[in-house]
Structure 1
Amino acid sequence: MTQTASPWPAPSAQAPLDATVEVPGSKSLTNRHLLLAALADSPTELIQPLRSRDSALMISALQALGVTVTDTDAGLRLETAPLRGPAEIDAGLAGTVMRFVPALAVLADGEIRIDGDPRARERPMGPVIRALRDLGATIEASGPHGESLPLTIHASGSFNGGAVELDASASSQFVSALMLAAPAYRRGVDIRHVGGALPSLPHIAMTAQVLRERGVEVDEAEARWRVSPGTVSGGRIVVEPDLSNAGPFLAAALAAGGTVRVPRWPERTTQAGDLLRGILTRMGATVERQGDTLAVTGPADGVIRGLDVDLTEGGELAPTVAALCALAATPSRLRGIAHLRGHETDRLAALVTEITRLGGEARETPDGLEIEPATLRGAAVETYHDHRIATFAAIVGLRVPGVEVVNVATTAKTMPDFPGMWQGMLGQRA
């Protein structure tokens, strides 16, 4: 990803907010539905999918494997064909692409090569590679023990699947990858997690839900998931807004005061971003549903309360919560997020470094962060090609003048025009 020539000046709020923000579709749901469309028995129409770097990388991967993808007024239309190689696939820095696509590519006929950004070669891949090999796949991969990108899959047009054990303690995506492709495996899959605490369980629940919505039988037990072979239905799929991407905008109501509203907030969802309702309430906000709109109003006295919270099920929310904790009047502890060390960057180290750069006080713990109240100052915040570190800095900048964001363009990974949306929320011209 190209770094911008100069840092983006994060705007400070000049008055309490009164804004309604239309958030793009969920990245997690978009990329799951895109992959299932490659296996569907009829064309799939995705309504209001996310348009971002991550979804573009998934679309390009599917096209390389033979899927036809066309734009429509409402979103995308996908028509499948027998998956084929040879193919060269760029995973960028998208975890859903680098982990989901290999499980799909074993169904293709031919040689499939997958690589990504330099940091992608450092991200955990071993469990999904080992699981596919245990199920019979022939995969050549780089790194220690041949368990990282780039990798080459030698596929023959079909795949048996079956029972397999894997350690998904580094990422729930290892489980979701096998589940999503399993309907097209001759024996489906029977996955058993063997390892430490499993992070981001809502994402596995999301995978099970989208499979069931497409007519696939899924059985779940403790640390075990069985997906039966069967037909994946096509049809019309409406994608929920991305609730985690809504997080920075809702957090802005606490940082700047006033109210921010996000329309189309689902009444029930498997998205981890829904945890924000409780988290922001604990930090002093008033959170309420107004029809299908979620409204968050900052504390009347402007004081943000720190909190002790387990984010095992919502690690992706940690940078947003950390930004508010850095502005809070009391100490905070974020737990259950050791796995964030293997994300787009080492997010725990990055957050500690950047909070410190801003004059704050933060330290790593074995499974998270501790953040103390401090008087912050403006600084140029590094983003490490990580979209959530960029939005962390933007939140802090609402209250702290002089914050700049290095390479704010990295937010295009999940939000194509974050700077414009952010300034629009403030009533400013982009």
Structure 2
Amino acid sequence: MNRMTYQRHRPRRICGQGYAWLLPSLLLAGIVLLDFNTGAEYRFVSWTVLVPGIAAAICGVRTTACFCVVSLVAYVLVDHAWPDQYRAGFADFVLVALGGALATVVSAMRVRQERHALRMEDVAAATVRAVLRPLPERWAGLEQAGAYFPADVEAQVGGDFYDIQPGPYGTRVLVGDVQGKGTGAVEAAAALLGGFREAGYYEKDLETVAERLEIRMLRLRIHTTAIGRRDGDRFATAVLVAFSRDAPDTVEIVNFGHEAPLAVGPRGVRELSCGEGLPVGLCDLVGGLPPVHQVPLAEDETLLLYTDGVTEARDGHGVFYDLVGDVAEAIIADPRCAEPERLVRRVHEGVRRHSRGVLADDTTIFAVRRLPVGDEGPRTAVFPGWDSGRWLPDRVWAGDDPERGSSAS
């Protein structure tokens, strides 16, 4: 996602250069030439009132004011070049002056709205960074690639979320989709990610991490109900995955009513059997959390996680996108498509092509796989040391050498 920055208004640019003044200048020159090259019965000098109006749409306030003055000067010079009986007169001069003044006011209003829009883009960009923080491509023993496309392009953020959290007990991955839309969904996604980042690091058992997510959603629902909001029944589907250093050929998965992950490798595509519990925030209806499933995942297989924006993408005839078939076809044509970045790009292009670029729901595509042994990626994080759950502030975790130094994340 591109970072938005707020700056002072700058003139519109044509072909990458500051030529926004060119169009009103050509219009003014054309009006002057037209007036001189037609008969005295047809005067076009009054059309100079259009010049500040065009400038107001594409130029800054000062430039628009300059065109207002230039148009008035041009009007006086051109009109006085004709005999008295053919002059447009003072009435049209007032028209050009009034039109220029109004154009300057409109330009100021437009610039103010654009600055406000830039500030809103900054807020949206900050929200995106807070909810979906940037992730290193190779981190904590995993190689990952992710893409998020909100259905509301202008909003830039919705209820989908994903994250990776390394910790003393392995690396945890979370992908989910909050029910509903709007700021309430964003708030819920941020709350779940905050809970995951803490629990994913501190808790030893994946079941406890899942329990913390459930409690976090229940607390959020209680709070929203207490302040009188109507979205106190919000929930989220999610998949929670644990990569353990002690089990390199398996992963642990807790499925909160989410789309089942796919294992994509050179040998093909398979759906991981990880059950299907109730969404986060609704587990109290059945009296317990979804179970933790331990499923095989080979070192050369990529775990593909996604939200229902992928599987529910439809074409013009209402046919759903065939994710498994499309990915399987890509793997047959080129086994390298199992690489996370290539895989995410393939699925994204497939969804866009199938739906003709019209997304009915927020769409998240996230692919992750283990790095080869001995290549765990850059150590970009330092973690407080743990020894059987006891706090050891004078040590660091993740194999960093204190004498070499390391950077905190």
TM bucket, shorter chain? under 0.3
**Structure (1/2) with the larger strand percentage:** 1
Q: Which has the higher contact order (CA 8 A, sep 6+)?
A: 1
**Structure (1/2) with the larger helix percentage:** 2
Higher gyration radius (CA): 2
